[in-house]
Amino acid sequence: MTTRKPVHLAVYDTFADWETGHATAHLAQAGFEVRTVGPTREPVTSMGGLRVLPDLALDELRPEDSSLLILVGAGLWDTGDSLAPFARAARAFLDAGVPVAAICGATAGLAREGLLDNRAHTSAAPFYLAATGYAGGERYADVDAVTDGGLVTAGPTEPVAFAREIFRLLGAYDDKATDAWYRLFHDSDPQAYAELEEALAR
């Protein structure tokens, strides 16, 4: 069995707790180690008041050691440039052929970095990204989540669709399991639970 490289979850003060829980919990169940990356190794505090001690600092992170970089939304994305180093890290990952997933405010950080100019993408709303002055407005898609060129994007109300795109990108589950998982957690489809259990048992 091929050893899977860790998935790296970026954490910083004001990060939005709810946006990546589906993705990280089910990636861990699929056999991926999830490691947190902070601006430093000092604790950070989420929007919900949770204190997280990062596993490593951003300057220790290397694309070749990772399966995926997840950038979560945070109030800090919209109040200055303190998180810009994480957008630059996303560029390094994509340049190295390692995927990135960004949700909510993190999409604005990537827009400022120029990473959405030539990729199909989505976010909270078109005007939200337009305020960054980026050049990719024509590539904006009004859908739950988008994957293009190794980059997943989603808005803040779509953590389940965001997770589904990540599972597909990493091959975490087969198509039947992913479809059943989405119908269970997004649509509350009662039949999907049994289908998911059956798919995971194969």
Kindly name the residue from 94, 104, 111, 151 that is annotated as catalytic: 104
Cα Rg of the chain (Å, integer): 16
Give 3's DSSP letter: P
How many residues does the structure list for the chain?
202
Query: How far is 156 from 64, CA to CA, in rounded Å?
Result: 29
Query: How far is 178 from 163, CA to CA, in rounded Å?
Result: 10
The angle formed by the CA atoms of residues 9, 155 and 56, to the nearest 5 degrees, is 10
CB contact at 8 A, 129 and 116: yes
CB contact at 8 A, 144 and 159: no
- Catalytic residue check, 73: no
- Adjacent-strand bridge partners of 40: none
CB contact at 8 A, 108 and 128: yes
Q: Could you list the active site residues?
A: 104
